[in-house]
Structure 1
Amino acid sequence: MVVLRALVGRVGAWVVLGLAVVASAALFVLVPSVESDAFPSAGLPAETQSAQVEALLEEFPDADVSAALLVFERGGEPLTDEDEAAVAARAEALAAESPTPQAVRPQLSEDRTAALVVVPVDGADVEADLAGTADHFRALAAEDLPEGLRSALTGPIGFSDDVSSAFAGADLRLLLVTVGVVAVLLIATYRSPLLWLVPLAVVGTADGLARVVVAPLAELAGLPVDASISGILSVLVFGAGTNYALLLVARYREELTRQSDRHAAMLTAVRSAGPAIAASGGTVALSLLTLLLASLQGNRALGLACALGVGIAMVFALLVLPAALVVCGRGLFWPFVPRVQAEGEERRAGAWERLGRGVARRPVLVAVAAVVGIAVLALGLGGYRVGLSQTEQLTGDPESVQAQRVLDRSFSAGLSGGVDVLVPSEEVPAATERVQAVEGVESVRPGTEHEDLTRLTVTTSAAPQSEQAFEVVRALRATLADDPALAGSLVGGSDATALDTLDAAEDDLRLVVPLILGVVALVLLVLLRSALAPVLLIASVLGTFFASLGAGTWLFTTVWDFPALDANVTLYAFLFLIALGVDYNIFLTSRAREERARLGAREGMITALGSTGGVITSAGVLLAAVFAVLGVLPVVALTQVGVIVCLGVLLDTLVVRTLLVPALAFLTRDAFWWPARRVTAPAPG
């Protein structure tokens, strides 16, 4: 208590601000920058077949070879003789850029509506300058083409460049849109031209510090942070940090109407709201840390990075923001400066308190209506499916996707995919025969050999990373495992990697979900000291999750025409909705527990809803808007996470926390707080 009083005191507040500025500036200057990957890597467990194949192929003679696939077409019309001559000329020019020019030959489709030139490329050159390599091949292929003949780049280089371009400038774009959204909503919430600047500056500094500190720490832990994780980190820090700021400012404003000394008012505000903010931030951080037990490296990196980010946001909300607010004084709230109410001055019931009394009068009706509404939204799960093909992972219509459609129509869809099979060298003929017999396999080509293993390059008829491609991979693994002589064979490549990633994501979901629920239950038990309340609160946020996932699935399949969810979307949506959804219940029920001690269970909940209703609704709308910002990136997975979390937060804020949880509390009365002793409400007057 002495320390807390000093931190918000007349001198202590200035000291805290000074130390925060100095420490932040030092970290910004001294912490070495770490360049994040342009796009997410698979990060599969080493024991998966695709990871083993990738590791073994690094030792093969042709390990460092990639491929550029150039497609030529004129909108489905047959190519002319002039077109074919131009394609031949372009193939000759492209061959000069390949380490194996003899392998570069134009291929015409059977219906002569398209031509394909496959250019083997040095992988080291691609890794050193992906964008430059892709642009060079695009320019070279498009040079001197007849009018109406178009070229497009696809394959490993084309898709990688389009994914990388999708994240190019993502951090700045997300930051600018997020700051704009937060600023507008803070101004609307506070109705002050000054007050919004302080929370925004504090949270913005926390976000900048998280960006600087998190990447090097994750790198030290062997968990590099890619662009997608950086985007989610920024959204989470801004969303959670602003939520904590809204709660603290609301309680501070309330105390300023009771106390003339702003330092004493802030002391009371931090003592009252601080435990709820700490419990909320702790719940989110601990839930995120459960991802460290996941098998996918990307999930572990997200968990570590975002847990550190939330921790930084929580520290700034509990230490720096109170100091900044008291230093600025009451005038910061202008033109609605809170004044101390005279003793005996009548307090008017607000809209949220009136709503609470309405719920208290008909708790059964309210609870049933809310549950039915949630159940209706959850019906959208009937269309739930996981797994996007390579062409379905980006929004818009990038060049590589357009070219892939031409391949699907005129050539083999699997030409731009990748299935590599490693078999014992002495069993190549038998392995080739078995592989060729698998349904969906179009061709098998024996390749290079290394340490008694031979690489078979398999072309399938399935689109890359589609369910049909996964069926081919499963069938290949099964048929090779059936032969004792080929039991040690391995099936890898990009299609197998996508399948193993999907399977690993499902394993992570089954592992992490119970852990997150356990963390949330433990925090609620400690904070509320009740056995029944945590059960009801967890049930309510689970209902929110299924409803938002169902509503999101319906929107994706009927409005946006996304055929399925990306592999990690369900896990990320569950994590954020459960952890952040419990936040608002923590804010409400911790205040209800505080008020119950003097007013009783019923009046305590009504007063808590009246006191926190406005700020929690503002916080929920703001958090939903911030997560919706993820949709500015042309990446389907991030759009899906943003939409589902946005829907879930709005549902939790406007229905579950506002109506369902109070109704359940009114129905269960003092049993809601069991085993805490019963509190008798004071007599009126």
Structure 2
Amino acid sequence: MREDDGRPDRRRRRWIGAALLVALVWLVGAGPLGMFLGRLGEVQTNDPGAFLPVGAESTEVAGIAEEFDREGSVPAVVVYSREDGGGEVSEEELADIAAVAEDVAGEPWVSGGVAGPFPGTEDPSVAQFVVPVDAAADTGDAVTELRALLDEDPVPGLRAQVTGPAGYAADLAAAFGGIDSTLLAVAVVAVLVILVAVYRSPLLPVLVVLACLLALGLSGALVYLAADTGLVSLNGQSQGILFILVVGACTDYALLLVARYREELAVRERVPEAVLAAVRGVTGPVLASGGTVVLGLLCLLAADLASTRSLGPVVAVGVVAALLSAMTFLPAVLMLCGCAAFWPVAPHGGSGGEGSFGEVVARHRFWGRLATAVARRPRTYWILTTAVLAAAAVFAPQFDAGGTGQAEVFRTEVEAVEAQEVLERGFGSDTGAAPALVVADADRVDEVVRAAERLPRVERAAPVTEPGPPGADPPPLEEDGRVLVEAVLTVGPESAEAVDAVRDLREGLRAVEGADALVGGVSATDLDTLETARRDFAVVVPLVLAVVFVVLVPLLRSLVAPLLLMAVNVLSFAAVLGVGTLVFDHLLGLPGADPVVPLFAFVFLVALGIDYSIFLVSRAREEVLEHGHREGVLRALTVTGGVITSAGVVLAATFAALAVIPLLFLLQLAFLVAFGVLVDALLVRTVLVPALSLDAGPRVWWPGRARTAGESAGYSGSPGSAE
């Protein structure tokens, strides 16, 4: 008898020993990997090529045009302007500027000679000189040093600023510079505050955040290794989304596990048994959720935009790390801490577990009352909810994803943008305007130039020539039998008219037989990016929906329920896009959106938003088998209401943290995903899905049989009355 009595204790000691081993493996193994989070900037690629459409005509031209750059440089334009806004730059001041330019020319990162200074042609209070920054040097570091030199050697009465391609590249890199610290700090603090409010415990939120940080360390090391070896391409926006998604996903899975653990502690005497029962209870929905997100993100590999394609595997690695940490490290530390994790309000026997629906409602008052209300009029609730979402979705087709100008990428004032405005004031609005670049067969260069100049929106066209003395007439520069022709447009390079001009230019040059002309440049890149983004949306969206369906069918053992969940989540996405249209256009007055914003928002909202419906419906199926369809659905809504709502709020808060990065793209993505997650967690999962399930009845599980014997005999006992 004593031997039998001792068996549970021995089993408990074995489980505690295993939990201690798992926790130590994570702490000792993944903990030190956190150092790689700070080194991800070393393997980032934020140059324009990282965002170009793969295989597009403009991308091909960009690669060929590099062969014609003899100096291999990126221009940085130094702009001087009078600080008081009046009076022309004097000859003495121009001489001082020339002395500064001469000093700058001696820097090791300067390739070739400095051009200028030049006085303003439109406004004499402005002057400039151009510094060719060696393409082999780090552009951000070079511009930082250039700005420091200008501060150390000022021209009295004049303000010096740096713009041009090098200036914009440096400011873009600086915008991503706060990802490592600021973004992570904001996300973790938001999670901590919410978890403390949810758990009312000082220890449990720390354990959850520790699981998130370990997942971040593991994912950071894996992504660093993959980027360093060339397996993936990492840029600043991918890194920011990686941080956010790991913290948000790991916290969501942790919330689900802890909620189930609390339930099990209320009906089981031993902590190890409660932890194991909780893990068994949530493994299915958590794996389905994680699998949906990972496979959905990997669908981005089918995209042609380089930045879109690279995001998928980077963030998928993070979700896998979050899932592993939440389902291994967190159960281990919960087993080690026992009920103390919930101190000072620890669960106890009799506080949960099975009981009548009335008892369940008594324990979850708000969610029980909501479930009862939905049960009384399910058809009214789902029709009204659908009507609200559909009304918002009406505005979705008006969402402006036509792209933005280079200066509009930033949400805050940056030096490159300010200096460009000063430069245009001093030298005209076409200053710095990037011409269309035409690569063509050298034997057809004259025909290409004539064909280009015949077009109404081409001001002039000329081939790039060999270097020569002033006044000479050097021949066209030739590389591998090809020439590079610069076609100056009569419209701004980042305007809709410029995009149309590129279309006309491509069409007109196709008529030049044997020229094999390709058109690139800024305007052509805008055109190709827009068309590629639309193509990516048309290809990736069906793939994501197919992946979600394939994951949901075996989980729910039904065909109707997965189709129902997918339909409401697509409607939810359309509604969010419609609200985004109103907010961005009319409330915030934003200039437009990056072409990839709708696709990113769709992938995150469908893959992440459906998680909450997965958590609800998988629990509903479990309850239906025990209590019948109607009561099972209502029990699931009641007992999961708090935890799923908390998970939605946490994920929305973490995605909202992306808004701290001063880039328009990330602000728009942060709003759409955060708002969409709240809609899914608070409206779709809370009202629409339960109401539809109740109105459809047990056939929602077709062709499966998630029914009890009582139901098959006509049992319909449930709280409330059918409509």
TM-score (norm 1): 0.92
Whole-angstrom distance in 2 between the partners of 1:673 and 1:344: 24
Whole-angstrom distance in 2 between the partners of 1:49 and 1:634: 31
Q: Which residue matches 2:185?
A: 176
Q: 1:320 to 1:40 in 2, by over 3 A?
A: farther
Tell me, what secondary structure is at the counterpart of 2:558? coil
Q: Which residue matches 2:44?
A: 37
Offset at residue 163 of structure 1 (A): 0.4
2:434 equivalent to 1:417: yes
2:481 equivalent to 1:455: no
Whole-angstrom distance in 2 between the partners of 1:316 and 1:515: 28
More divergent stretch after superposition (476-485 vs 201-210): 476-485
Question: 1:398-438 deviations in whole A, cap 9, x for unaligned?
Answer: 12112333445551336243532222223333322333343
Tell me, what secondary structure is at the counterpart of 2:483? strand
Whole-angstrom distance in 1 between the partners of 2:167 and 2:454: 31
2:129 equivalent to 1:122: no
Q: Which residue matches 2:146?
A: 136
Whole-angstrom distance in 2 between the partners of 1:653 and 1:479: 53
Q: 2:23–2:329: 8 Å Cα contact kept in structure 1?
A: yes
2:126 equivalent to 1:110: no
2:348 equivalent to 1:313: no
Offset at residue 443 of structure 1 (A): 4.3
Offset at residue 588 of structure 1 (A): 0.1
Whole-angstrom distance in 2 between the partners of 1:309 and 1:655: 28
For 1:531, the aligned partner's letter is L
Whole-angstrom distance in 2 between the partners of 1:48 and 1:396: 31
For 1:118, the aligned partner's letter is V
User: Among residues 557, 561, 564, which one is paired with 1:536 in the alignment?
Assistant: 564
Offset at residue 598 of structure 1 (A): 1.2
Question: 1:68-124 deviations in whole A, cap 9, x for unaligned?
Answer: 223334489564252x65246424642662655484351523354644433444323
Q: 2:601–2:673: 8 Å Cα contact kept in structure 1?
A: yes
User: Among residues 268, 274, 281, which one is paired with 2:277 in the alignment?
Assistant: 268
Tell me, what secondary structure is at the counterpart of 2:68? coil
Q: Which residue matches 1:52?
A: 60
Q: Which residue matches 2:553?
A: 525
Q: Which residue matches 1:390?
A: 406
Tell me, what secondary structure is at the counterpart of 1:168? helix
Whole-angstrom distance in 2 between the partners of 1:532 and 1:212: 41
Q: 2:43–2:228: 8 Å Cα contact kept in structure 1?
A: no
For 1:533, the aligned partner's letter is A
Whole-angstrom distance in 1 between the partners of 2:264 and 2:394: 45
2:314 equivalent to 1:285: no
Whole-angstrom distance in 1 between the partners of 2:666 and 2:428: 32
Tell me, what secondary structure is at the counterpart of 1:339? coil
Q: Which residue matches 1:68?
A: 76
Whole-angstrom distance in 2 between the partners of 1:308 and 1:418: 40
Whole-angstrom distance in 2 between the partners of 1:59 and 1:544: 48
Matches within 5 A, 1:186-205: 186-205=195-214
User: Among residues 77, 80, 90, which one is paired with 2:88 in the alignment?
Assistant: 80
Matches within 5 A, 1:192-231: 192-220=201-229, 222-231=231-240
Q: 1:588 to 1:326 in 2, by over 3 A?
A: same
Whole-angstrom distance in 1 between the partners of 2:89 and 2:610: 67
Q: 1:299 to 1:128 in 2, by over 3 A?
A: same
Tell me, what secondary structure is at the counterpart of 1:117? strand
Whole-angstrom distance in 1 between the partners of 2:316 and 2:349: 39
Question: 1:545-567 deviations in whole A, cap 9, x for unaligned?
Answer: 11111112221122322221112
Q: 1:33–1:212: 8 Å Cα contact kept in structure 2?
A: no
Q: Which residue matches 2:4?
A: none
Whole-angstrom distance in 1 between the partners of 2:454 and 2:334: 73
Q: 1:383–1:554: 8 Å Cα contact kept in structure 2?
A: no
More divergent stretch after superposition (383-392 vs 294-303): 294-303
Q: 1:130 to 1:457 in 2, by over 3 A?
A: farther
Q: 1:390–1:464: 8 Å Cα contact kept in structure 2?
A: no
Offset at residue 212 of structure 1 (A): 1.3
Provide structure 2 residue ranges, at least 5 long, that are not aligned to the other structure: 1-10, 465-476
Q: 1:205 to 1:411 in 2, by over 3 A?
A: same
For 2:636, the aligned partner's letter is A
Offset at residue 620 of structure 1 (A): 0.3
More divergent stretch after superposition (50-59 vs 27-36): 27-36
Question: 1:468-518 deviations in whole A, cap 9, x for unaligned?
Answer: 3323322222221122143x1222233333332332222211111000000
Q: 1:7–1:323: 8 Å Cα contact kept in structure 2?
A: no
Offset at residue 570 of structure 1 (A): 1.0
For 1:503, the aligned partner's letter is E
Q: 1:68 to 1:28 in 2, by over 3 A?
A: closer
Question: 1:282-306 deviations in whole A, cap 9, x for unaligned?
Answer: 1101111111222223222211111
2:253 equivalent to 1:244: yes
Aligned residues: 676
More divergent stretch after superposition (313-322 vs 571-580): 313-322
Matches within 5 A, 1:85-96: 85-87=92-94, 89-91=96-98, 93-94=100-101
Question: 1:597-632 deviations in whole A, cap 9, x for unaligned?
Answer: 111111001100111000000000110010000000
Q: 1:464 to 1:131 in 2, by over 3 A?
A: farther
Whole-angstrom distance in 2 between the partners of 1:87 and 1:64: 28
For 1:385, the aligned partner's letter is D
RMSD: 2.8
Q: 2:147–2:161: 8 Å Cα contact kept in structure 1?
A: no
More divergent stretch after superposition (321-330 vs 418-427): 418-427
Offset at residue 336 of structure 1 (A): 0.9
2:346 equivalent to 1:337: yes
Whole-angstrom distance in 1 between the partners of 2:453 and 2:416: 28
**Percentage of identical aligned residues:** 38
Tell me, what secondary structure is at the counterpart of 2:130? strand
Offset at residue 138 of structure 1 (A): 7.0
Q: 1:40–1:228: 8 Å Cα contact kept in structure 2?
A: no
